[in-house]
């Protein structure tokens, strides 16, 4: 079995490559920075979305499965809608068409819950949730999902699936979790006690295990969409508390009334961030778990360990 992993130097892609390599898979690793992968790997340059078709055919030649981790994340503050669409929809579609034409096995497309729900909404999300993306990133991820599944369907193949992920934590994480971690690394009192909205999170290691599971231990035909998450959702206040515990900081989480905090956030132009911190978003990963995938059960303990190890620097 030879597996192509795209985005192999990225936050999740590097762990997927390691997980599959340790399981004995032969790998082809694609990255915009293949020089970072070392000479021991079949490392190749990831084509751009506008590369010739031959580049995608060469990339997928002689591989069994494809795990598509490459894309433009929503922590890129200067990215435009066109940038997101090119990286997350056009590139995904062209890779999927090439893989469907000649790769013999499965195509696992990593996506995000932002493809179905905005950061400010409260909901429980499962594979049947009607998509309603609210940002350029989410719209591009949803279009990427559609075009990957359509590419395989156009070749009469049912062996492509979308794996939607909630916020993922681990060494090198970015986005809101990294922001909360930096805020926690201070002795100042924080008004985080009011942030009681619960969120599903996913450890980066569990994400890699989910990919491996879908490739190697899932015997039934793939469903179009799966969700993965840790077992128990946690509040933002608990996340900050876990980071402070790992840093050895005093808790100092003040239970300030929500009304004044919301007013201050609005006054400072941070209402969207406030809403995203107070929303409850729970992912139903029961479908993947029923197939034998094992999720993380100790989310807060893992967050504290990340803080204690000082793994705060983002992956370049």
Q: Could you report the per-residue pLDDT of 47-63, keeping only the tens digit for each? A: 999 999 999 999 999 99
Domains of the chain: residue spans and CATH: 2-166+202-229+284-293 (3.40.50.720)
Return mean pLDDT, the chain: 86
Phi-psi region of 132 (alpha: psi -120 to 50; beta: other; left: phi over 0): beta
Q: Could you report the per-residue pLDDT of 80-134, keeping only the tens digit for each? A: 999 999 999 999 999 999 999 999 899 999 999 999 999 888 999 999 999 999 9
Q: Does the structure show a pLDDT above 80 at 270?
A: no
- Mean pLDDT throughout 263-284? 73
Phi-psi region of 230 (alpha: psi -120 to 50; beta: other; left: phi over 0): beta
Q: Which tokens hold the place of 53?
A: 């078709």
pLDDT of 37: 79
Q: Are 218 and 108 in contact (CB under 8 A)?
A: no
What predicted TM-score, i.e. pTM, was given to this entire model?
0.89
Sequential DSSP letters for the chain: -EEEEESTTSTTHHHHHHHHHHTT-EEEEEES-GGGG-TTSEEEEPPPTTS-HHHHHHHHTT-SEEEE-----TT-TT--HHHHHIIIIIHHHHHHHHHHHH--S-EEEEEEGGGTS-TT--EEE-TTPPP---SHHHHHHHHHHHHHHHHHHHTT---EEEEEE--EESTT--HHHHHHHHHHSSSS-BGGGG---EE--EEHHHHHHHHHHHHHT--SPPPSEEE---SS-EEHHHHHHHHHHHHT----B----HHHHHHHHHHTT-HHHHHHHH--EEE--HHHHHTT----S-HHHHHHHHHHHT--SPP-
Q: Does the structure show a pLDDT above 50 at 313?
A: no
Q: Does the structure show a pLDDT above 70 at 151?
A: yes
pLDDT of 193: 63
First to last CA, the chain: 29
pLDDT band at 315 (very low <50, low <70, confident <90, very high): very low
Q: Are 205 and 296 in contact (CB under 8 A)?
A: yes
Strands 198-199 and 234-235: antiparallel
Least reliable range by pLDDT among 120-129, 140-149, 172-181, 256-265: 256-265
Q: Could you report the per-residue pLDDT of 193-233, keeping only the tens digit for each? A: 667 788 999 999 999 999 999 998 665 788 999 999 998 89
pLDDT of 1: 80
pLDDT of 114: 95
Q: Could you report the per-residue pLDDT of 21-50, keeping only the tens digit for each? A: 888 888 999 988 878 777 767 888 899 999
pLDDT band at 264 (very low <50, low <70, confident <90, very high): low
pLDDT of 76: 64
Q: Could you report the per-residue pLDDT of 226-253, keeping only the tens digit for each? A: 999 998 899 888 898 899 899 888 887 7
pLDDT of 44: 86
């Amino acid at each position: 079995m030879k597996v192509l992993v795209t985005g192999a130097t990225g936050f999740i892609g590097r762990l997927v490559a390691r997980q599959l390599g340790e399981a004995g898979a032969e790998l082809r690793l694609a990255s915009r920075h293949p020089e970072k992968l070392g000479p021991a790997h079949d490392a190749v340059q990831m084509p751009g979305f506008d590369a010739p078709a031959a580049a995608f055919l060469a990339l997928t030649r002689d591989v069994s499965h494809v795990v598509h981790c490459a894309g433009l994340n929503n922590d890129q503050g200067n990215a435009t809608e066109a940038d997101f669409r090119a990286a997350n929809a056009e590139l995904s579609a062209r890779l999927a068409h090439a893989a469907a034409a000649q790769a013999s096995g499965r195509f696992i497309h990593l996506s995000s819950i932002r493809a179905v729900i905005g950061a400010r909404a409260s909901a429980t999300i499962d594979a049947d949730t009607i998509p309603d993306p609210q940002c350029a990133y989410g719209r591009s991820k949803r279009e990427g999902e559609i075009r990957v599944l359509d590419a395989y369907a156009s070749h009469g193949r049912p062996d492509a699936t979308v794996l939607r992920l909630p916020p993922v934590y681990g060494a090198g994480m970015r986005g809101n979790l990294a922001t909360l971690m930096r805020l926690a690394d201070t002795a100042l009192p924080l008004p985080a006690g009011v942030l009681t909205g619960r969120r599903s999170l996913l450890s980066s290691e569990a994400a890699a295990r989910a990919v491996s599971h879908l490739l190697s231990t899932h015997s039934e035909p793939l469903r179009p969409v799966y969700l993965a998450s840790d077992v128990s959702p946690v509040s933002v206040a608990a996340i900050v508390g876990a980071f402070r515990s790992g840093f050895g900081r005093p808790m100092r989480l003040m239970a300030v009334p929500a009304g004044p905090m919301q007013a201050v956030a609005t006054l400072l132009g941070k209402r969207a961030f406030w809403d995203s911190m107070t929303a409850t978003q729970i992912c139903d990963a029961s479908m993947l778990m029923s197939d034998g995938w094992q999720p993380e059960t100790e989310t807060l303990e893992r967050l504290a360990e990340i803080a204690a190890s000082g793994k705060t620097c983002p992956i370049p």
